[in-house]
């Protein structure tokens, strides 16, 4: 049996889903990972990479509910940072604040290389279309002879990433639909959560 570890770029996946399947964002990423396996493969790890958003209480609450649902599975959540950054228009001088996710690419790269070095997996499934992840793809291939299967979230296909991977596919509506959380979830602590009405 091939050992498979899954590495999920949370924001890349979220915005891909939001662009094409906005009603299917209540996604059980552990179940999705299981649904991507071949019969000769076994799942050894699912790593979900994200950052806690800020400056928007309603979005923060919805994200917390979703992360609680993920924590209720066997997936691990690895956090980066969400930082505010001022921007301005050179023409009119207007300034505003944008928010940027930091460290996710580095965290994914570190976990992929660390897992390859420890021989945790034979195949890495990377769910992302971010070309910044080409270096860790090549590193685990060349240094540790691991295979990398890239799964592109909706509207996130990237040819340079596809060319670096051993295999790739676009994540379709069928797999996404099969991998939804139930509308109501009982957490391990006995509390219940449910899919937010706006999500």
For 14-61, the pLDDT digits (tens) are 999 999 999 999 999 999 999 999 999 999 999 999 999 877 889 999
Residue 24, phi then psi, degrees to nearest 5: -120, 30
- Please state the domain extents for the chain: 2-194
CB 55 within 8 A of CB 179: no
> In which residue are the tokens 């979703």 written?
66
Tokens of 131: 């070309």
pLDDT tens, position by position, 107-132? 999 999 999 999 999 999 999 999 99
Q: What is the pTM of this model?
A: 0.91
Give the C-alpha separation, 185 to 96, whole Å: 38
65's tokens: 């509910």
Q: What are phi and psi of 37, to 5 degrees?
A: -75, 150
Instruction: Compute the average pLDDT of residues 168-185.
Output: 97
Higher pLDDT, 168 or 199: 168
The CATH number of 2-194, from 2.40.10.10, 3.30.470.20, 3.30.40.230, 3.40.50.1010, is 3.40.50.1010
Pairing relation of β-strands 76-79 and 123-127? Answer: unpaired
Report residue 138 CA to chain centroid gap. Answer: 19
Give the count of alpha carbons within 13 A of 57, CB side only: 0
What's the pLDDT tens digit per position in 66-93? Answer: 999 999 999 999 999 766 666 677 788 7
Question: What is the rounded average pLDDT for all residues in the chain?
Answer: 93
Q: Residue 194: helix, strand or coil by DSSP?
A: strand
């Amino acid at each position: 049996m091939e050992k498979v570890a899954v590495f999920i770029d949370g924001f890349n996946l979220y915005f891909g889903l939001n662009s094409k399947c906005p009603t299917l964002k209540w996604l059980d990423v552990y179940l999705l990972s299981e649904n991507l396996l071949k019969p000769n493969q076994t799942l050894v790890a699912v790593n979900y990479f994200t950052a806690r958003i800020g400056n928007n209480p309603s979005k923060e609450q919805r994200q917390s509910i979703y992360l609680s649902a993920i924590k209720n599975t066997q997936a691990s959540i690895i956090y980066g940072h969400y930082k505010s950054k001022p921007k301005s228009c050179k023409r009119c001088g207007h300034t505003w604040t944008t928010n940027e996710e930091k460290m996710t690419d580095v965290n994914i790269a570190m976990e992929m290389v660390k897992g390859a070095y420890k021989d945790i997996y034979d195949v890495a499934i990377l769910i992302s279309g971010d070309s910044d992840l080409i270096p860790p793809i090549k590193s685990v291939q060349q240094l540790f002879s691991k295979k990398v299967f890239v799964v592109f979230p909706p509207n996130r296909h990237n040819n340079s990433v596809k060319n670096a991977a051993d295999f790739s596919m676009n994540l379709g509506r069928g797999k996404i639909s099969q991998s939804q959380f139930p509308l109501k979830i009982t957490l391990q602590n006995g509390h219940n959560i449910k899919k937010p009405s706006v999500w």
